[in-house]
Chains A and B, each alone.
Chain A
């Protein structure tokens, strides 16, 4: 009864858009596809929708061969990152379009649309033209159309990426509410995004995609705590996890002339070279720390991002307050060694502060 993909590969030109992707999606669950731009997220969703046919592999849903079913008979819904609605129809007509297409009864249509409008908070906008709405409202209409349809598979392709910061925050909250309350047990929801924070907040099953390949699958918490390799660590953190080459020798870690005490969770690591990873938020200003030079300081919201440099080592630190720095100013910082990750020479995770490691 699940949506099952087996070894799906799509390679329309020289590059893999999807490379041997397999998955098993259960009804009533939320799945997030995390990946950078051009990692194959949209291709992934379009393949499920039926807009693209994979070169090889199987896709089945409720024990039917999904690939043989054309898009218009698949009963999926999709929200694009561009706000795609039917510009010649008003809000109400937009939402009933798929229902009319399916020849739903008038009463049912009325009920479904009312419910969908209430869910997305657009009651009273029924007769507005699409062009009269703001970007956020347009995206709500698109979402309402998908919800009213009560499709068994709901695909959302970076639905928030084209909205401004504030609206994104607000809609993200609402999405979470809609996904937890408004979805029936029958629906598989697949949400793609580039934003790790969104993934953590939606807290579903995560698939990390890069260059068309699945790098890691698991619950959001697992991806956050134990990124399987360097790539995942980079993709699943914003700003990306800092990676420093270094060596461990007994109780000390040495990354390019910075010496740090080896944390307790590294005690089983053999003495050799590693790629050490640390999140930007685990680097703190500390007068006892190492001196770094500021290359760039950006203030975003209530946080300050510092791009720091010492010799060849470059790190990004996230300071949780607004501070003014001058470029080329020297600051002292300290790494929180208890939150250090170690990746081996093959970029695989060998030790994480959260204990579990993939050997």
Chain B
């Protein structure tokens, strides 16, 4: 029984690994192919099956004037927008969440839960509903097709996630912890950053991870709110596609697009495996 269980477990893990890794292997090998190797018979192993070439990668950094597509600038645009928007969302979202978790707000019929719901409700609507308001808003203040405009929009999209995760997290941090900090001579701000915040790192990491992922992979708003001045990576990668699909450069760009997320995943995973994400607070 024990053996069977082990066998099934490892079979499943192996199958799952193949399922996850296969697209990567395919993309890696394709990124080193040229037109010939892609369009002839199916090939996998470099040098044996096909002659590897760096052409697919070179195209990505060459300027359009020399026949390239240059995704370097969109790449850094995306990094900048995602990181800035995530950072601001986490900071503002954490402060908002702490207030919502610890203080009681009353305004007419509005209570804490209503405010929390208001934040989350920003994500309930399908994104397309928001596209026109965002478009009009950005064009009114003159931030259409600009990095700052995108940061503003992404904060609107990401902050609800941060608020949602952090409210839930703070609600599980005992109120007595803040109170003890107050009694031990902290004013409310010190209690927050000296005691509550250091114990909220797991929540902050989860919230940060979600913000980075959702910010990084967004295609829709990046597509609608930018034209020529500013381009973000997802839009540029899609734009690579032409009448003859350039599988080699598509693969290469896909690989460097997921790279930041893989790095994030590894960092969080190391943190997870240290067991720091749970058990800090009862």
Contact = CB atoms under 8 A, between A and B. Distances in A.
Interface of A: 46, 49-51, 70-74, 76-78, 80, 82, 84-88, 97-98, 101-102, 131, 145, 149
Contacts of B182: 50-51, 71-72
Nearest to A79: B180
30 contacts: A46-B179, A49-B183, A50-B182, A51-B182, A51-B183, A70-B187, A72-B182, A72-B186, A72-B187, A72-B190, A73-B185, A77-B183, A78-B179, A78-B180, A78-B183, A80-B180, A82-B174, A82-B282, A84-B176, A84-B180, A86-B177, A88-B195, A88-B199, A88-B280, A97-B184, A98-B185, A101-B186, A101-B190, A102-B185, A131-B280
Contacts of A74: 183
B108 interface: no
Q: Is the interface of B mostly helix, strand, loop or mixed?
A: helix
Nearest to B180: A84
A44 to B, nearest CB: 15
Contacts of B176: 80, 82, 84
Given A82-B174, A84-B177, A88-B198, A145 B280 contact: no
Contacts of A97: 184
B279 interface: yes
B281 interface: yes
Contacts of B198: 88
A78 B181 CA distance: 10
B83 to A, nearest CB: 26
Interface in B264-282: 279-282
A76 B281 CA distance: 24
B183 A76 contact: yes
Contacts of A88: 195, 198-199, 280
A101 B184 contact: yes
B185 A87 contact: no
Contacts of A73: 185
A101 B183 CA distance: 11
A98 B181 CA distance: 8
Given A70-B187, A97-B184, 18 more contacts: A51-B182, A51-B183, A72-B183, A72-B184, A78-B179, A80-B176, A82-B174, A82-B176, A82-B282, A84-B176, A84-B180, A86-B177, A86-B181, A88-B198, A88-B199, A88-B280, A98-B184, A131-B280
